[in-house]
Each structure stands twice: as structure tokens, then as C-alpha cells.
Amino acid sequence: NAYTLSLEPHTSYMSPRVSENFDISMRLSLEGIGAVLKGDNEYTEVLRTVVGGPARQSGGIHAGDRIVGVAQGDDGEMEDVVGWRLQDVVDKIRGPKGSVVRLRILPDGSGADGPTRDVRLVRNKIKLEDQAAKSSIIEGLDGMGPVRIGVIDVPAFYRDFRGQSRGEKDFRSTTRDVRKLLRELQAQGVDGIVIDLRQNGGGSLIEATELTGLFIPSGPVVQVKNSSGEVEVEEDPDPEEVYTGPLAVLVDRNSASASEIFAGAIQDYRRGIIIGEPTFGKGTVQTLVDLGRFVRGGEGKLGRLRLTMAQFFRVNGGSTQFKGVVPDIVFPNATGSEKHGERGLENALPWARIDAAEYHPLGIGSLKRYREHHQQRVKQDPGFKYLAGQAELMKTLRDQDTVSLQEQRRKEEWEARERRRKAQKNAYRASLGLPALTDEDEKTAAKEDEAGGEARKEKDDIDLIGLNEAARILADYIENQRMAVQVR
């Protein structure tokens, strides 16, 4: 990868293990026992078990338990896995659906010499539902009025290519899941919908095209230019427009690749309001080359080359490469850095432009008044004040170009930053009607967050700052449209 990264940031070698994990992330399923594991010193610890998985159904494996031995089948020898790397233990536990694996468990709270128990499990197909698209409804916020906003969180553009190639009619994909969620939200009577693409690093180009097609009647979605200069226009493959109502797309600096295709197309068609931060700026297309194809009997054993083959362009002719998608309504910089994303990577390709495709914008009118209303709210909103304070702290730390050689001085500087950070956090919590956090609270929260427990609520609350504002912006738009209809 030292060589490939000298060419551009997204060409790289993927080992067989990395390739397998990539495939799992695309199809949102694996064959195993349904347990989330972590390395804890010499042990492999169970963080949590997946609902419906063999580990949960067995009743013999719980969060905090440590796996000290693994055996294959009913008669295989139990291997001691204490001191093993986490991924090596995972490889031993995963296996084909229907096969047997036996685990030796050291219960949570037991010492190293404590009693163990053996648990027999039959591996099964595990669906990774926490990584799939999901929906919720926002209503009753201050300044929203009697408007109900549906939210669809899309964490990735996934598609089960293996299931599709096998002819499975119900293979998993982002578009299929979102189509179902759109219909459910409309049945619940929402007035508008926000598609949340924050932290969505991309995925399948096909999915970006098909997902866009759920919101437009027909037409081009993205243009792909290969290394020979040939341009192919990817069209909406389905004339069905599943949702025609008010739409917003929420993005941040980690929304990349397929996310930028979708957001860019919605913006070019003037189909919805793009809200949030400028996106990552990854406008290149990669293909996967199985290196085992070139060696007899090596298929799947030598890994893959992730190779940049083309660059994609919006239907207006502009690229998302380097610059990203600039939202219609821009949130304040939450990181304090202007170098995030493609702009901060070495050897990144420059921005470019080609001829626009033939398309027909739908039109959502001027957004000036909604920008002004947003800016007024941000000045008063405790959440945005908190994010601004955190961004300033991060920027101060990044800009610091000297470090004291005196340990006591470094400790004092760290403590001063911590006091400032905690003061900002507690001011924000006070605005939510929550008690101030103590040092012990923060330690407990960090441990619970690692285990996927209730402490994730704090992060969710911070994520809601941007999501709630996106809902208010869309509600503002909906109310204005209703008033315009009444005036007519």
C-alpha cells in the first residue's frame, strides 16, 4: 500500500481477511454465532450478543464473559485462545451455517483460575440489523408547529451481490430497505422526510443510483468517466417515484462517495434541501480485482486489489472530487478543521468538470428565508453553542506547535482543557434539564459506551442537535408551502 497510496488515496491492497469483512459489510450478514467481541488484554471478551443469534439463544453467553477456548464440531479438540489476536479468535468462531462450534467460557467477574463452562453452538446466518437503514419520527420540537417529520438513517450503501448472483429474490439492499421505510412513514402520515447520510462513507454505486430513483420520476443520476475519457450516464432504472413529498438530505464531513452521488443528484434536480456540512469529497470509482484469479487454485486466498478505475460527475457536470457537495444550508464547522476529507489526503485528484447531462430540475424555490431562520436559531441554540465550543477546543489543540518538556506543566495544560471541556458539556446538559456529570459519571459512561449500553445516549443527544435542526428547516419549508397554497 505504500506504493498504491503514492498514486492516489483510494487504491489499495485488501488482504483475504479485509476482503471478507468488506463483503460482510456489503451484504449485512455473516455466518457465525452472533456475538460482538473485543480484545481485553490477554482475553477475548463478549461485548454483547445479537438478538436472534445462536449466542443469545443459547442462554450461556453474556456480556463480559471471556472466551478462553474454541473447538470445532462435537469432537474437535479445545484450543486455548488466551493471548491470541482478536481477529484470529474471530476466524476460529466464524464458520458455515449449520456447523458446530464449542466455546469455553470464563464467566464475567471470575478470576483467571475461576470455573469455566463449555457452550455448544450451531452457527447460523446473522443479519447485522444495526447497520441497516432505519426510520423514526420527529415531532413536537420548539418552532416546528404541528408538523411530523420522518427520518431515515442510511449508514451505508449496501447490496448483497452474492445473494443477487445466486438468484435470491429477497437479497438485501439499501434501496429495498428504504423503499419499505418510505411506505411505512407515509402510512403513518408524516409531512416530510429527512434522509440522514451523516457518517455514511459510501458503498455501492448501483445503490446510489437506484436510491435516487425513489425520489425522482426519471432521468440521469450520475456520470462516470473512465481513464480513456469515455463518459457513461447512469440513469434512474425504475420510473416509479416512491416519495414525492417535501425532502431534506442531512450530510456531514464524513458523507462520502455514494452519499455524495445521492446528495448531489437531489441538489441538482432541486428535489430537496441539502443540509449540514460540506461532504468528504471522494469522487472516484473503485473496482475489486481478485488476485487469486491469476494463480491456479488461488481464488479467494490472495486478497484483492481495490483499484481506482473512473471518476464520477454530477448531472450538472461538476465533480464531487476534492470539493465535495456544499449544502444549500450549511451548518457551522463542528471540527474546527478545514483539512478534513479528501482535501487533507496526499495525492488526491483535483476537482474537474465535464459537460452536463440532459436533465430537468424539479424546483423547490428560493431557500434564502430558510437560511436566515436557521442562522437565527443557531445563535440561540445551546446545542450549536456546545458544538462551537468543542470545535474551538479541537482547533486550539491542533494549532499548538510546541509541547512543554516539564511533566507538571503538561499535566496542568491537560487539566485546564478538561475543565473547559466539562464546563461546556455540563452547560449543554443543563440546557436539556440534565444534571452535571461528575468524573465518576464520565468513567462509567465510557465503559458503558464501549459495551454498547445506555451511555451511548449522550452521543445520540449530540447527533440530535443537527438532526433536530434539519427537521426544523424542513418543517419551516412545509409550513411556508402550506401558507402559499392558502394565499392562492
Q: Is 58 noted as a catalytic residue in this protein?
A: no
CA angle (136 as vertex; 130, 142 as ends), nearest 5: 135
The upper half-sphere exposure of residue 338, i.e. CA atoms within 13 Å in the direction of its Cβ, equals 1
DSSP secondary structure letter of residue 310: E
CA distance 89 to 104: 12
Instruction: Please identify which residue in the block is written with the cell numbers 495525492.
Output: 347
DSSP 3-state assignment of 421?
Answer: helix
Domains of the chain: residue spans and CATH:
31-126 (2.30.42.10), 129-365 (3.90.226.10)
Q: Of residues 65, 236, 268, 476, which has the active-site annotation? A: 268
Selection from 125, 160, 131 nearest residue 31 by Cα? 125
| Identity at 170, one-letter amino acid code | D
Q: Of residues 92, 282, 323, 385, which has the active-site annotation? A: 282
Contact yes or no for 384/375 (Cβ under 8 A):
no
Q: Is 282 noted as a catalytic residue in this protein?
A: yes
Grid coordinates standing for 466? 443537527
Phi and psi angles of residue 368, each rounded to the nearest 5 degrees, phi first: -55, -50
- Using CA atoms, how far residue 86 sits from 66, 67, 341, in Å, is 12, 11, 29
Grid coordinates standing for 308? 481506482
Q: Strands 43-49, 149-153: parallel, antiparallel or unpaired by DSSP?
A: unpaired
Mean pLDDT by groups of 10 residues along the chain of 488 residues: 91 94 94 94 93 93 96 97 96 96 94 93 94 96 90 98 93 97 98 98 97 97 97 94 98 97 99 98 96 86 94 98 97 80 93 97 93 96 93 88 92 93 91 83 59 53 91 96 72
pLDDT at 178: 99
Distance of CA 448 to the CA centre of its chain: 21
Instruction: Please identify which residue in the block is written with the cell numbers 476537482.
Output: 351
Instruction: Please identify which residue in the block is written with the cell numbers 446545542.
Output: 383
pLDDT at 19: 95
Q: Is 97 noted as a catalytic residue in this protein?
A: no
CA distance 121 to 73: 9
